[in-house]
């Protein structure tokens, strides 16, 4: 595989390819052309071929992609077949919702422990994940070396906790706190900004309203 | 303002500009150049100038952008100064987390009512928002005409509820259910796919691990 710079836009499309291929596979589809896949995803066929060419040779001219093979290959690129341990910091409503409904295992993540400061939550278990006191974090990390931490704590606690997690060896932060975290550049922060998504919707309905009025 | 096709990528960057300008404004910054703004956001200065040129003339050659003005203008483009009513469907953990922590008003949304089917939740109030029985939805919409509905209901309920909301006049769905909704094309669906975000992080830490091993 040739090494080359891979743009952020390409990286962000990979999980979407993975998700669409997953859905097609679950519906029993075996092969798909880049033009059909592109139509479903709202990108061009050439965009798909170009994106995938960053990672190697996929598909066969005129035959399209084998869905199981392409899905497995994209999963490998995304690292889902490398088991990594993940912990959840903050078991309030959002943390609880993720513990209860989100399929961490599908992304290759092992999750058995969450942390919180609330005595009402410590010791409880959600969907097989035990909630521990935040005071136990250092001891847990020393033994289990989690690679990723999910931050669903109050804003005021976010930066200090992020620094502590990085010092404990965490290499990725999935950040729901809406705080722009400042951490060592060798650590990856993936921010979930709900507002960006809602404002995109706001733009679309507002333009639509404008069109209707004229 | 010239009318032109505006790409999805540009539309998705607008809320980010808005968020960064907001942060700069709250820190007392008055002007910023496109190159400084771009460096902070990880895009090029020419990208910013090109994005904004889709909507009109902003900034002054050599003087950069006035942050308050540019923020207000982008807010106007995003529709945040047009008050629109929003309802939340599903007041479980995720719905509760949004009601409690998310600032809907900042996006120009009026929110006073959520709906759920659980007798334990109906009649309760979260952050000033009253939770009503789902049976009251039609009557509420007939009077209040909500423009946007937030879907934080179980997967199995999503499609039917989406169709009902569209029939009741809702024009935008903010969809957290992970179901690909099939609705009339005049309605906008903005999907929040947590998995896409986590898989992006998975990719980055996995590549980093690869680099370290070599």
By CB atoms closer than 10 A (0-12, 13-18, 19+), residue B163 is: middle
Q: Residues B89, B90, B96, B101: is their CA dihedral positive or negative?
A: negative
Is any Cβ of chain B less than 8 angstroms from the Cβ of A26?
A: no
Residue B213 neighbours by CB distance under 10 Å: 6
Q: How far is the alpha carbon of B61 from chain A, nearest alpha carbon, in Å?
A: 28
Q: Does A84 touch chain B (CB under 8 A)?
A: yes
Q: Where residue A208 falls among pLDDT bands split at 50, 70, 90? A: low
Contact B205 A84 (CB under 8 A): yes
Closest CA relative to residue B197, chosen from A49, A59, A97, A104: A104
Domain that holds residue B13: 8-76
pLDDT for residue A147: 97
pLDDT tens profile B97-137: 999 999 999 999 999 999 999 999 999 999 999 999 999 99
pLDDT digits (tens, 9 = 90+) for A154-205: 999 999 999 999 999 999 999 999 998 999 989 999 999 999 999 999 999 9
Based on the fold, state whether residues B48 and B125 are members of the same structural domain. Answer: no
Radius of gyration for the alpha carbons in chain A, expressed in angstroms and rounded:
20
Report yes or no: B184 at the A interface, CB cutoff 8 Å. Answer: no
A78 with B206: Cβ contact below 8 A: yes
Domain match, B108 and B174 both: yes
**Residue B201, in any domain of the structure:** no
Dmax (CA) of chain A: 64
**Inter-chain CB pairs, A–B, below 8 Å:** 174
A169 touches chain B (CB under 8 A): no
Indicate yes or no: CB of B199 within 8 angstroms of CB of A107: yes
Helix axes A194-213, B8-26, angle to 10 degrees: 120
Contact, A51 vs A20, CB < 8 A? no
Q: What is the CATH number of the domain that holds B32?
A: 1.10.10.10
The owner of tokens 């050599």 is B62
Select from A77, A94, A111 the last residue of a domain.
A77
For residues B111 and B51, membership in a common domain is answered with: no
Instruction: Look up the ipTM and state it.
Output: 0.90
Question: With an 8 Å Cβ cutoff, is B182 touching chain A?
Answer: no
CB spacing of A197 vs B174 below 8 angstroms: yes
Chain B residues close to A79, C-beta within 8 Å:
202-203, 205-207
Residues whose CB falls within 8 Å of the CB of residue A40, separated by 6 or more in sequence, listed in order: A20
Instruction: Please report whether residue A26 resides in a domain.
Output: yes
* For residue A149, pLDDT beyond 80: yes
In-domain check, residue B59? yes
Picking from B156, B201, B204, B208 by the largest number of A CB atoms within 10 A of its own CB, the best residue to mutate is B201
- State the smallest CA–CA distance between residue A135 and chain B in angstroms: 24
Nearest CA in chain B to A150: B198
- If one counts the domains in chain B, the total is 2
Which residue among B96, B186, B194 places its CB closest to the CB of A93?
A: B96
pLDDT tens, position by position, for chain B (214 residues)?
444 578 888 888 899 999 999 989 999 999 999 999 988 888 889 999 899 888 877 777 778 899 999 999 999 999 999 999 999 999 999 999 999 999 999 999 999 999 999 999 999 999 999 999 999 999 999 999 999 999 999 999 999 999 999 999 999 999 999 998 999 989 999 999 999 999 999 999 987 544 433 2
Residues B117 and B188 in one domain: yes
Does B105 reach chain A within 8 Å, measured CB to CB?
A: no
Query: Residues B72, B101: one domain?
Result: no
Q: Let me know whether B190 and B91 are in one domain.
A: yes
pTM for the whole structure: 0.88
Cβ-contact B25, A214 below 8 angstroms: no
> pLDDT tens for residues B187-205?
999 999 999 999 999 999 9
């Amino acid at each position: 595989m040739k090494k080359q710079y891979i743009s952020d836009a390409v990286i962000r499309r990979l999980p979407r390819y993975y998700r669409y291929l997953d859905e097609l596979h679950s519906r029993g589809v075996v092969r798909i052309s880049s033009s059909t896949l592109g139509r479903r995803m709202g990108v061009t066929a050439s965009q798909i071929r170009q994106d995938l060419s960053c990672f190697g040779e996929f598909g066969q001219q005129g035959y399209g992609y084998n869905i199981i093979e392409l899905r497995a290959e994209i999963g490998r690129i995304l690292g889902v077949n490398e088991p990594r341990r993940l912990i959840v910091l903050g078991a309030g409503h959002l943390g609880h919702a993720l513990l209860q409904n989100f399929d961490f295992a599908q992304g290759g993540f092992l999750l058995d422990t969450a942390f919180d400061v609330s005595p009402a939550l410590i010791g409880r278990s959600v969907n097989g994940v035990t909630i521990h006191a935040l005071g136990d974090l250092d001891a847990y990390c020393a033994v289990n070396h989690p690679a990723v931490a999910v931050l669903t704590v109050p804003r005021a606690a976010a930066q200090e906790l992020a620094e502590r997690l990085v010092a404990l060896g965490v290499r990725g932060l999935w950040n729901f706190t809406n705080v722009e975290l400042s951490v060592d550049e060798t650590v990856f922060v993936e921010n979930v900004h709900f507002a960006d998504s809602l404002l995109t919707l706001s733009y679309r309905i507002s333009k639509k309203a404008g069109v209707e009025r004229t």
